[in-house]
Amino acid sequence: MADRSYLDWPFFEPRHRELAASLEAWCKANLPVDHADVNAACVSLVRMLGKSGWLRHSGADAGETLDVRTLCLIRETMAGYDGLAEFAFAMQGLGMGAVSLFGTPEQRLWLEKTRSGAAIAAFALTEPEAGSDVAAIATTATPALGGYVLKGEKTYISNGGIADIYLVLARTGEAPGAKGLSAFLVPATSPGLEIVQSIDVIAPHPLALIRFTDVAVPRAALVGKPGDGFKICMSVLDIFRSTVGAAALGFARRALDETLRRVKARKAAGTPLAELQMVQGHIADMALEIDAAALLVYRAAWKKDSGAARISREAAMAKLFATEAAGRTIDMAVQLHGGDGVRSGMVVERLYREIRALRIYEGASDVQRLIIARSELS
Ligand SMILES: Cc1cc2nc3c(=O)[nH]c(=O)nc-3n(C[C@H](O)[C@H](O)[C@H](O)COP(=O)(O)OP(=O)(O)OC[C@H]3O[C@@H](n4cnc5c(N)ncnc54)[C@H](O)[C@@H]3O)c2cc1C
């Protein structure tokens, strides 16, 4: 197995090391689950993660903060065993992130349900004509009858179709662009909320296009203040972008573990692949990319947990580097597995498909570059 001494780094406290050890044991005993029906698998994973107590870490009570190192360790560890389990955990946190940070006592009742595994959460920002450019969001929330009426479409919504509660960003029009958006908590049972289409992707998970046709929500559904939706969502992404980097790290570590086993066992010209210097060079590069990614991920998480109000620069660096580096590491793992690397059912083949979307969602790699450059130039 690849080196795991990073847990000794000063970024962590004893409670993090204890959590990582007990989660590792839990994952070994319970994962992976059968993915034949991804929607059913995700529902069952949420229930399992709730029952086992891991989802308690996906939200924060009023006056508390989300512990980003804990979120990262959980995503990293689960990613090494089962990408769908990692996804199920992450979405409970992301979907309810705005409520953890800014929710009213009434909205926090949903958080209780998502943290126990009784309810499933989703985060709905992206639209057919507004992805990277969040300021172009066209879904409207018009004040009416003591609340709002939502109209529009959201696409690529993870957990779309199985979620019980959606955090939706919609235009309330206080100002042009990003300053005229507000965040709403919308139950899946709301009349007018419709799953238009399931979306198939290379690493299947619940994903859908959702339509809101005159969906009425009470004023109490508004998270934070009118016009603060963009700011709220960026605060949530500030936390969860580092955790995307952590998930990438988990996939990359698994790829290295698989590769170490493979190159020791597989022979070429009478010698194990592991004894060929060019193979050793690739192993060194994989280990180096993993450690560099881990340093950036846990630096960002530690900084947030140490009280920094925003960590946009550090989170962007963590997400950008860790997801790109994991892509390179897994690609090399496939290469070193030879033909078996691209064979359906092989772990590295699955990792190769699973890592790709992480460079796109929650801000594509070039969007992270823009955030870093703006911070350097300011
Ligand atoms: C598997 C998966 C799960 C997802 N889950 C969710 C979810 O749960 N909730 C949700 O709201 N969304 C979700 N998304 C959507 C995701 O966040 C968007 O796909 C992403 O933000 C990119 O938007 P887009 O697809 O519209 O691409 P576009 O905005 O069209 O961008 C395409 C490419 O153009 C380039 N680009 C765009 N803007 C810039 C710029 N300003 N500067 C430089 N280059 C730029 C980048 O290379 C980018 O990759 C998910 C997507 C995937 C693939």
Query: Distance from the CA of 257 to the center of ligand 1, in angstroms?
Result: 30
C-alpha count within 13 angstroms, C-beta hemisphere, residue 40: 5
Closest ligand 1 atom to 124 CA? 11
Centroid of ligand 1 to alpha carbon of 13 (angstroms): 35
The pairing of beta strand 140-144 with beta strand 147-158 = antiparallel
Mutation test residue for ligand 1: of 132, 159, 184, 354, the one with most atoms within 8 Å of CB: 132
Q: Inform me whether the pLDDT recorded for 303 exceeds 90.
A: yes
| Residue 173 Cβ < 6 Å to ligand 1 | no
Amino acid identity of residue 171, one-letter, is: R
**Separation CA 162–CA 43 (nearest Å):** 7
Q: Is the pLDDT of residue 1 over 80?
A: no
| pLDDT of res. 130 | 97
Question: Which positions ≥6 away from 11 have C-beta within 8 Å?
Answer: 69, 298, 299, 301, 302
155: phi then psi, degrees, rounded to nearest 5: -125, 165
Round to whole Å and give the CA distance between 108 and 261. Answer: 46
Q: pLDDT band for 252, please (50, 70, 90 cuts).
A: very high
pLDDT in tens, 269-281: 899 999 999 999 9
Ligand 1 pocket, 135 CB below 6 A? no
Atom index in ligand 1 nearest the CA of residue 362 equals 17
Q: Is the pLDDT of residue 237 over 90?
A: yes
Residue 61 CA to ligand 1 center (angstroms) comes to: 30
Is the Cβ atom of 132 under 6 angstroms away from ligand 1? yes
How many whole angstroms from 208 Cα to the centroid of ligand 1?
15
362 is catalytic: yes
Among 236, 94, 228, 114, CA closest to 174: 228
Mean pLDDT of the chain: 97
- Distance between Cα 169 and ligand 1 center (Å): 15
Residue 207 Cα to ligand 1 midpoint, Å, equals: 14
Question: What does the block give as tokens for 239?
Answer: 């936390």
Q: Between vectors from CA 253 to CA 249 and to CA 256, what angle results, nearest 5°?
A: 140
Contacts of 39 (CB under 8 A, 6+ apart): 161, 162, 206
Strands 165-171 and 121-124: parallel
CB of 167 closer than 6 angstroms to any ligand 1 atom = no
Ligand 1 close to Cβ of residue 126 (< 6 A): yes
The two tokens of residue 304 are 């947030």
pLDDT at 269: 87
- Which residue's alpha carbon is nearest to atom 33 within ligand 1? 364
Distances (CA, A) of 59 to 99, 119, 355: 8, 13, 25
- What ligand 1 atom has the least distance to the C-alpha of 359? 49
**pLDDT of 3 higher than 90:** no
- Strand spans (E) along the chain: 121-124, 140-144, 147-158, 165-171, 181-187, 193-198, 207-218, 222-223, 267-268, 271-272
Going by pLDDT thresholds of 50, 70 and 90, the confidence category of residue 225 is very high
Cα 130 from Cα 139, distance rounded (Å): 10
Residue 172 contacts residue 162 (beta carbons within 8 Å): no
Q: Which of 24, 106, 362, 376 is catalytic?
A: 362
pLDDT at 145: 83
pLDDT, tens digit, 9 for 90 and up, residues 94-117:
999 999 999 999 999 999 999 999
144: which 2 tokens? 């009416």
Ligand 1 close to Cβ of residue 361 (< 6 A): yes
pLDDT at 2 over 80: no
